[in-house]
Amino acid sequence: MAWVALAAVVVVTLAIVAWPSGGKPSQAQRVQSVSSELRCPDCESQSIAQSSTETARAARADIRTRVAAGQSDAEIRQAYIDKFGPSILLKPESGGLGILVWGLPAAALVLGAGGLVLALRRWRREPHLHPTDADRELVQSARPR
């Protein structure tokens, strides 16, 4: 019963976290979101959304134009990959080799959790041993008088 309750808590928590907030994102939200995923081309470790360089400002304006023209987020990302290469993405791609970066830790986590559950269940199944009279006698005889 405790396991079912625990599983329910986990599922509900994940659902709350993963549930999309609000409805369809506005154009401004999409510009912000895509800009946050792309690395500023001429500065270190900042996104286009964060950077104040002239090129980053130009990129934000370009993304705004592309969103208004009806391009999808994936199309905009691809346009920037075509121009700058995959390193323009702040996070690794979720396909190709990039899937290893995301997939392997998740697989290890799932397998580790599975193993832990099995181990806990096995420990629960094991009988609780109580000392017999023979055990008590053995302990008494071993104690110094």
Partner 1 sequence: MKHRARWIALAAGLVVTVFAVVLATQVGTDPRADANKSHLLGANAPSVDLPTLDGARLRTSDLAGKVVIVNFWNSWCIPCQEEHRALADFYGRHAGDPGFVMVGIVRDDTDDAVRRYVANEGVPYPVALDPGARASLEFGTRGQPETYAISPDGVITGTRFGPSSVANLEQLLAAARGQR
* List of residues contacting partner 1 (CB under 8 A): 41-42, 53-55, 57-59, 61-62, 82-87, 100-101, 104-105, 107-108, 111-112, 114-115, 118-119, 122
Q: How far is the CB of 7 from partner 1 (least distance, A)?
A: 18
Q: How far is the CB of 32 from partner 1 (least distance, A)?
A: 18
CB 48 within 8 A of CB 90: no
Structure tokens at 69: 């023209």
- Residue in the structure block whose two tokens are 């000392």: 131
Nearer to partner 1, 16 or 97 (CB): 97
Q: How far is the CB of 54 from partner 1 (least distance, A)?
A: 4
CB 62 within 8 A of CB 71: no
Q: Whole-angstrom Cα distance, residue 6 to residue 40?
A: 43
